[in-house]
Structure 1
Amino acid sequence: MPVPGVSLPPPRPPATAAGPGAQPHHSLADSQPHVEAVALSDAPPVAPRPPRSTVERLLSGPNGLGTAGLRLTPREAPPTSEAQPAPEARSEGASAAGGPAPDLCPPSAHDSAPDLCRPAAGDAVPGLYHHPVPEPDPLRVEEVSGRIKTWAVDEVQTVPPEWQDQFDGFSVGRYMVACHPDAPTIDHLMIATRLMVAENAVDDCYCEDHGGSPVGLGSRLLLAHTALDALHTTPEYEEEWAKSLQSDAPRRAYRSAMDYFLRQSTPSQADRFRHDMARLHLGYLAEAAWSETGHMPQVWEYLAMRQFNNFRPCPTITDTVGGYELPADLHALPAMQRVIALAGNATTIVNDLYSYTKELKSPGTHLNLPVVIAQRENLPDRDAYLKAVEVHNDLMHAFEAEAAGLAAACPVPSVLRFLRGVAVWVDGNHYWHRSNTYRYSLPDFW
């Protein structure tokens, strides 16, 4: 069932990783040739349904004898807090049909009983369209947390003693286990975890919390990027460049994390990641330029910047972490690129919403979507925040609709599993933001 704009390439043989120590990739399709799809959602339907359409069948996941273990998470949704209405379920094949989730605390509730609607620590943003996830495997969380701290503190010296409380509070092990429940081994999970810590080291040390500044940022980012995308120069100057990669914590972290990544990834996966990191650095530079000039962007300009300065490098490696490969020609499909972009945009607005109060405490004006909406559309802070929730919800519904359309048009097992992995990453990212009360608290708008 092709759809306009999606042209399917001819099948290609499975790619294998290159280089010393590389391991071959075995996708779900390699071991289960008759599996039709990997579910984009595990939430059960709320009522009996008539016979399913082809799209619903594709999105419902593998079925039949011997396929139960192929689901990445249990079908049952975890219980929700009694203090918060349950989020709208992601029903099979129809998740994008509705509009934005309603405000769970309508104006009358704010006026008559505000305490009943005020979210407690660890609650989701009221009205935010999201999906609950199971608690991440505690044994995996413990193992990943121990390994990543050893790497960050001892191997690359990225976290000095005075920052270790903040590092522990970040809970990166729980974050990555929640986002990658299909990772076959701890080593696969560590790929994503090292890259996440390295990216945060660059953000903190070059841009924000630990001595970062917009002044001279372009030069620092360019030199750090060569730890991901190696400099090809003459022998006379290559030695100096190689020494520079050990000169500060961000470059040490980038270089080491990328070396580990290359051991598990294929050349096309590595090139894809480098491209998305260049996008990220371009977004950093735009935000820095606005900071230097005092420019308050229009809302659409801010959203354009956030499409680059966002989480996209994280879900784009979901197949590497899962131990398989989405072939480069399928990854490059315009429809797939739109799905990935929408996922990155939605998850980044989640960060804006949960970090809102944290950023208000920082000196100067810290740009995030509620702040930009309030300034540019002349809205009270509460109304601007709630409008940012609506923007997130619109992005989420668009992401799910586009993913469903692509799954129906291109039911290739690697495509379906990759779409599933991106959807799981989106949900895991929200879980981490919601539950990380060490870093985040919600504004008193309810």
Structure 2
Amino acid sequence: MPDPGLSPLQSSLPGAAASFTARVLADAAAHGHAVPHLLTETPAVPAAPHPEAPAAAPLAAPAVGPVAVAPPSLPEPGWVPRGPSGLGTAALSLAPRAEPPAPPVAPVAAPADALIIPGLYWHPVPEPDPVRVEEVSLRIKNWAVDEVQLFPEDWEGQFDGFSVGRYMVACHPDAPTVDHLMIATRLMVAENAVDDIYCEDHGGSPIGLGGRLLLAHTALDPLYSTAEYQPQWAESLHADAPRRAYRSAMEYFARQATPSQADRFRHDMARLHLGYLAEGAWAETDHTPEVWEYLVMRQFNNFRPCPTITDTVGGYELPADLHAQPAMQRVLALAGNACTIVNDLYSYTKELASPGRHLNLPVVLSDRENLSEKDGYLKAVEVHNDLMRDFEAASAELAAGCPVPSVLRFLKGVAVWVDGNHYWHQTNTYRYSLPDFW
């Protein structure tokens, strides 16, 4: 056979954008539609409005460089960094402005009972639509109880206290319908069931974790086997609550998602499970990783699968070749990393009070860099802030370099998810409290 030669190099981001543009133009021409060039005349593509939701705010132009705010050297309790309007608080523009931008809207204040970490860099968000919160909360509990038998009766208070409806409505304000919101909500609940029941509070253990995760992952990425053994595998998907939840949530998701979106999600869930395994292995051997090793683990064991599906929940698709670009992957990794360190900070006291030793960034920093508990926590705040600013700078750079409508909307969705995730942690006083370091 002739030598096929080397595989072609991966396309650059501009090349991927040009390829996507060419496909759109060719399709439009085939159907007799006039379409402006996506890189020069990018029209806004608004989401379908929710009937009870207020009208969306006008789209604002993206920043073109790194966004940073220097917090005061001695922040007072209750200090809220206002920062830029940023990718997390203002929509990205899909067209250049011919006129000066409107004056900035006054920032939204944090709720009165919110947990405030002095010095933490974050963006306030509007209160989530209460009508949607109530509907999502009702539907997700019915799903958990009736469809997948997720938890015994004595766990009901913990399920309600998780406030998943408020969480998902805050993270996905552009979802066109409650049905779209439910896609994310079921997956979020299923992922937490796997974490709690296999790894953490409700009977989890590092012993045998790999086998449990592998079988659960087949509820997302199905087995294709012989006629003799396929039915046994299918029956196993009903064997425990995590597998029942994964199977059902994935079925709902796959009905709404494109094949590439579903495959993207499976890939990020495999990343998540690999992170669970690393953390479990360290727990089994009583190993405290180096700080950089811990951050490696947290890039896998983090929230990344959630913002990854922001386009599916929004009712559109970021094309696979644009999603796969290194610049977009860097944005997603930084977003997931920042969100996960937020979890480390807000769950710090909760984990200290739990049985056993829980690894989180403040604990690892204190151990590996010989810091006091307070100084380890404060340095973790600095690490989070650096990650947030790197995320915003990478997002702005990508938005300026590839102003394709689906890229801009996806970047906006990821940024809103980051802010909504912080909002949920900050306001969930049922689950979280702060250390007395100030």
Alignment TM-score, normalising by the size of structure 1? 0.79
Maintained 8 Å contact 2:67/2:392: no
The alpha carbon displacement at 1:7 in A equals 3.4
The alpha carbon displacement at 1:242 in A equals 0.3
Maintained 8 Å contact 1:183/1:322: yes
Maintained 8 Å contact 1:121/1:441: no
Residue 164 of structure 2 corresponds to: 172
Residue 13 of structure 2 corresponds to: 6
Distance 1:333-1:255 versus aligned 2 partners, 3 A rule:
same
Residue 101 of structure 1 corresponds to: 71
* 1:85-118 deviation line (CA, Å, top 9, x unaligned): xxxxx996267343653455379x9xxxxxxxxx
Residue of structure 2 aligned with 1:320, choices 300, 312, 316: 312
Q: Quick check: 1:337 aligned with 2:332?
A: no
For 2:336, the aligned partner's letter is G
Root mean square deviation, CA, Å: 2.7
Maintained 8 Å contact 1:73/1:134: no
1:199-210 alignment, distance < 5 Å: 199-210=191-202
Residue 301 of structure 1 corresponds to: 293
Residue 190 of structure 2 corresponds to: 198
Q: Measure the CA separation in 2 of the matches of 1:75 and 1:438.
A: 35
Q: Measure the CA separation in 2 of the matches of 1:264 and 1:131.
A: 30
Distance 1:104-1:425 versus aligned 2 partners, 3 A rule:
farther
Residue 216 of structure 2 corresponds to: 224
1:69-80 alignment, distance < 5 Å: 74=57
Q: Measure the CA separation in 2 of the matches of 1:71 and 1:268.
A: 32
For 2:71, the aligned partner's letter is A
Distance 1:356-1:234 versus aligned 2 partners, 3 A rule:
same
Residue of structure 1 aligned with 2:344, choices 352, 375, 380: 352
Maintained 8 Å contact 1:5/1:335: no
Q: Measure the CA separation in 2 of the matches of 1:399 and 1:71.
A: 29
Q: Measure the CA separation in 2 of the matches of 1:326 and 1:71.
A: 25
For 1:130, the aligned partner's letter is W
Q: Measure the CA separation in 2 of the matches of 1:345 and 1:261.
A: 24
Residue of structure 1 aligned with 2:267, choices 257, 260, 275: 275
How many residues end up aligned between the 2 structures? Answer: 374
1:22-171 alignment, distance < 5 Å: 35=42, 74=57, 93=63, 96-98=66-68, 101-105=71-75, 121-171=113-163
Residue 382 of structure 1 corresponds to: 374
Maintained 8 Å contact 1:152/1:159: yes
Q: Measure the CA separation in 2 of the matches of 1:160 and 1:240.
A: 26
SS in 2 for 1:279: helix
SS in 2 for 1:7: helix
For 1:105, the aligned partner's letter is P
Residue 86 of structure 1 corresponds to: none
Q: Measure the CA separation in 1 of the matches of 2:254 and 2:389.
A: 34
Residue 427 of structure 2 corresponds to: 435
Distance 1:262-1:225 versus aligned 2 partners, 3 A rule:
same
Residue 241 of structure 2 corresponds to: 249
Maintained 8 Å contact 1:72/1:182: no
Distance 1:174-1:103 versus aligned 2 partners, 3 A rule:
farther
The alpha carbon displacement at 1:200 in A equals 0.5
Q: Measure the CA separation in 1 of the matches of 2:23 and 2:188.
A: 31
Maintained 8 Å contact 2:62/2:399: no
Distance 1:278-1:299 versus aligned 2 partners, 3 A rule:
same
For 2:146, the aligned partner's letter is D
Q: Measure the CA separation in 1 of the matches of 2:280 and 2:173.
A: 35
Q: Measure the CA separation in 2 of the matches of 1:35 and 1:360.
A: 50
The alpha carbon displacement at 1:321 in A equals 0.1
Residue of structure 1 aligned with 2:408, choices 391, 416, 419: 416
Distance 1:139-1:335 versus aligned 2 partners, 3 A rule:
same
Q: Measure the CA separation in 2 of the matches of 1:433 and 1:91.
A: 28
Q: Measure the CA separation in 2 of the matches of 1:179 and 1:330.
A: 22
For 1:195, the aligned partner's letter is L
For 1:122, the aligned partner's letter is A
Maintained 8 Å contact 2:136/2:178: yes
Q: Measure the CA separation in 1 of the matches of 2:310 and 2:123.
A: 19
Maintained 8 Å contact 2:219/2:246: yes
Provide structure 1 residue ranges, at least 5 long, that are not aligned to the other structure.
15-28, 39-61, 63-69, 77-89, 110-118
Residue 58 of structure 1 corresponds to: none
SS in 1 for 2:224: coil
Provide structure 2 residue ranges, at least 5 long, that are not aligned to the other structure.
1-10, 25-35, 47-52, 80-110
Distance 1:266-1:91 versus aligned 2 partners, 3 A rule:
closer
Q: Measure the CA separation in 2 of the matches of 1:436 and 1:362.
A: 18
Residue 396 of structure 1 corresponds to: 388
Distance 1:336-1:158 versus aligned 2 partners, 3 A rule:
same
| Matched-pair identity in % | 74
Q: Measure the CA separation in 1 of the matches of 2:368 and 2:277.
A: 21
Alignment TM-score, normalising by the size of structure 2? 0.81
Residue 84 of structure 2 corresponds to: none
The alpha carbon displacement at 1:364 in A equals 1.7
Distance 1:138-1:152 versus aligned 2 partners, 3 A rule:
same
Q: Measure the CA separation in 2 of the matches of 1:146 and 1:34.
A: 43
The alpha carbon displacement at 1:427 in A equals 0.3
For 1:152, the aligned partner's letter is A
SS in 1 for 2:181: helix
Maintained 8 Å contact 1:95/1:401: yes
* 1:218-249 deviation line (CA, Å, top 9, x unaligned): 00000000000000100100000000000000
Q: Measure the CA separation in 1 of the matches of 2:363 and 2:73.
A: 20
The alpha carbon displacement at 1:37 in A equals 6.3
